[in-house]
Amino acid sequence: MEQAEISEHQWKIYDCLIKGQRWMSNREIAEFTGVSLRRVGFHTKNLVQLGILDQAEVYPGHRFKVASKAEKRNFGYIQRLQQAGEIFGTHLAS
């Protein structure tokens, strides 16, 4: 289910995963973005449900990366995330 609004935290998580281009745990994402671990968990779960992220269920914690088919699965939401990044001006270093 899509959210009506995109938060800066959600944008930071998406941007982190786009730039990292690798599997990352919620803890790694939290450390890199400065977003709380609990909030990262909420957003990664939501982004998996939206088809934006792929999830690998491994021990000791799930890993996430941007799905190779994310644009096909949910192009409209990807566009909204990109627009939010322009608004927030919080692009992480390339």
Domain coordinates in residue numbering, the chain: 8-82
Q: Yes or no: say if 55 and 62 are a contact pair by the CB < 8 Å rule.
A: yes
Instruction: Answer left, alpha or beta for residue 31, where phi above 0 means left and psi between -120 and 50 means alpha.
Output: alpha
Q: Per residue in 21-57, pLDDT tens? A: 899 999 999 999 999 999 999 999 999 999 999 999 9
What percent of the chain has pLDDT above 70?
91
Looking at residue 44, what is its pLDDT? 97
| Cα distance between residue 3 and residue 6, in whole Å | 7
Helix (H) or strand (E) holding 24: strand 24-25
Fold exhibited by the domain 8-82: Arc Repressor Mutant, subunit A (1.10.10)
